[in-house]
Amino acid sequence: MANNDFKKIIVKNVELKYPRLGETFRYNAAERRSEPCKPTANGAAWSISWVMKGDEAKALFMDLKAHYAATGAKAPFTTVFGMQKQEDGTVLFRAKRNGTKSNGEVNNPPIVIGGDKMPLADRNIWSGSVGTIRCWAAPVTDPDGNGGISLFVDAVQVTEAVYGGGGLDDFEDVGPTKKTGAGDGDDPFGSAAPADDPFSTSANPAPAASQQVMDDEIPW
């Protein structure tokens, strides 16, 4: 995969959901839940999801679709993998970084910093935290030949951290409303470029069925 296939995306001041940044997780199909695992385990990944309003999500979707076309990918564009439209009209996006590179070497975890741009002492934040995400968008094709964009998390700035336990991840943190948005400018992490192999660059990722929820090209 060429470096020009990667597009830097910055999503600012969004509610973070299902953060898995402290260690790698994988999905246990038998128990139908994610569980901690070693980075070398099959399906191991760090991941982060976030919520956007419908109009902001649509703008991001169209930007990602345009990037897919610009890469010259051969398969028809079908979706942004990991994107889900919610019942309340908001849209959930997901970015991940696999535990290992395509050559089998263990990946470095995503960068996680606080509002002061210093490393966050406790990376095990909970849903309801607020922050800014830097990820890379790249064209991929699934095993069925469906083309789309996958998002690979590179760095997360946590400006409002929520920590908890005992099932508190089921609750939302209600705080002040902040302006959200996405783009490739005003990077709070500093300049960055994709490394030779910053992610596992498998050409044929197999997204879970729950991720393939968009049947039409523009899901609005």
What DSSP letter does each residue of 134-154 carry, written as one string?
EEEEEEEE-TTS-EEEEEEEE
Using a 10 angstrom Cβ sphere, with 0-12 exposed, 13-18 middle and 19 or more buried, the burial of residue 51 is buried
130-141/77-80 β-pairing: unpaired
Tell me how far apart the alpha carbons of residues 114 and 41 are, in angstroms, rounded to a whole number. 29
- Least Cα distance to 43 among 3, 99, 1, 89 occurs for 99
pLDDT score at 212? 32
Residues 10-62 pLDDT 10s: 999 999 999 999 999 999 999 999 999 999 999 999 999 999 999 999 999 99
- Least Cα distance to 161 among 19, 6, 9 occurs for 19
Tell me how far apart the alpha carbons of residues 127 and 50 are, in angstroms, rounded to a whole number. 9
Task: Please state the pTM of the whole predicted model.
Answer: 0.77
Residues whose CB is less than 8 angstroms from the CB of residue 115 and which lie 6 or more positions away in sequence, other chains included = 157, 158, 159
pLDDT score at 4? 81
Tell me how far apart the alpha carbons of residues 13 and 159 are, in angstroms, rounded to a whole number. 8
pLDDT score at 185? 54
pLDDT score at 192? 59
Residues 163-207 pLDDT 10s: 985 444 554 444 443 445 666 556 656 655 554 433 343 333 443
Q: What radius of gyration do the chain's Cα atoms show?
A: 16
Instruction: Give the mean pLDDT of the chain.
Output: 82
The DSSP code for 108 is P
